[in-house]
Amino acid sequence: MEGASVDPDARIIAPDGLPLTIIIISGVFLGLSVLAVSLRTYVRLAKGTFGLDDAFMASGAVVYTAVIGLAIYGCLVGLGRLEKDLNAWQYSEAMKYYIIWILMYVVGLAMVKSSICITIQRIASTKKALVYTVWALLTVTWASFLITFLGTLLYCQPVRTIWTPTLILSGEGSCAPVDTFVIIGHVATVSTIATDLALVVVPAVMLWNTQMKRQAKIQAFGLLSFASIASVITMVRIPYVNKFEGMKDLQFWVAHTILCSNIETGIGCIASSVPSLRHFFRSNSDGSSGPSNKRSGTGTQLVTVGGSRQQRRLRDSFRNPTDIGFSLSTVHHGRADDNWERLDGDSDKSDAPIDPKRIYAEQSYAVDIESDSEARKGEYGYPRGQAL
């Protein structure tokens, strides 16, 4: 197992080749994920719409950080290398941290997917079929988590027998047939691919018949396509799961699984947080940038109803400013392309006499009423007031 040229007292190995690739790519996805989730959390807290899906995503990002840390340390002590390049301590340490990585990875992935499912479930709350589908996806996600988590812990007794083969030789430990571990790996992989694809298809179904601008639909489908990459990445790791059957150079082969899985979880964190970031970069009504304190989830503007005639009165009356009066006109807060219905009639048709010696100043009030659920729907491009 140990090569003749390997220092038996060596511990940390300078990363190169596959280990270095894993460290760099995992670090990049961790940075992007933490940034995206942090901005999402900030926007939701600032808007007062922080919900259960945000809590799951924030928790998942924390666990994902630990997952990346375990992967990086594992690469420094032997993951991604052949057995002949490792001493006995590095062989055992690499496998130990791989097992710990598996346990943390399935926890983080379950949290990220739960966040996405809860978000879709809320948006699709008026479509029972879609709601039931989302609940089914949640069930599959957590069932896969339990199978992988408990299966890994129970594969060998005691657990450290996995990374300490001498316990089997001495009779102090025992493990189930290796095919059992391969089956656990395939169950986790297949369920992950199925849920990844479903989490792309379900939102696409909801978007298909919605009344959205073409640009908004293109952006939404582009985001879904980006998220679907996670499924492709997961498929890539299938051949490496089968390498357990040979029980040879496991530290090298499992490193490929770690790389694919780290990318998959990172994509989930980023893709699910992007819709909320639209509000971070939207300018407020005063010209400043950042999340608006209003509860509206879309860009808004004030539209004054029947104000042109009053503006002419105000301009003309400044020629003789002997008194100041106020005329109230009605405004609404919403999108410019919405069809709004006036509730108070035309203010320009008032029967009140106009005194040419007075100044008429126009006073406008804006009322912006929107529920949390509507604000959330707006973040993902769905028209408010439309049942999905």
Q: Point out which residues pair with 365 in neighbouring strands.
A: 330
Q: State how far the alpha carbon of 324 is from the alpha carbons of 222, 317, 320, 321, 337, in Å.
A: 55, 10, 11, 7, 35
pLDDT per residue over 219-273, tens digit each? 666 666 666 777 788 888 888 888 888 778 999 999 999 999 999 999 989 988 8
CA–CA dist 72, 303 (Å, integer)? 55
Residue 27: predicted pLDDT: 97
Axis-axis angle for helices 52-77, 17-47 (nearest 10):
160
Higher pLDDT among residues 371 and 184, named by residue? 184
Peptide bond into 158 cis (omega under 30): yes
CB 275 within 8 A of CB 221: no
pLDDT per residue over 335-372, tens digit each? 444 444 444 434 344 455 555 555 544 444 444 444 44
User: Taking the model in full, what pTM does it have?
Assistant: 0.72
CA–CA dist 334, 352 (Å, integer)? 30
Q: Is the dihedral of CA 207, 263, 187, 61 positive or negative?
A: negative
CA–CA dist 326, 319 (Å, integer)? 17
Residue 301 has pLDDT above 80, yes or no: no
CB atoms within 10 A of CB 43: 24
Residue 305 has pLDDT above 80, yes or no: no
Residue 218: predicted pLDDT: 64
H-type alpha helices, 209-327: 214-236, 238-241, 250-281, 308-317
Provide the token pair at 227. 């998220």
Residue 243: predicted pLDDT: 85
Q: What is the DSSP letter of 370?
A: -
Q: What is the DSSP letter of 202?
A: H
Axis-axis angle for helices 52-77, 88-123 (nearest 10):
160
> Which of the residue ranges 41-45, 197-201, 213-217, 335-339 would you say has the lowest mean pLDDT?
335-339
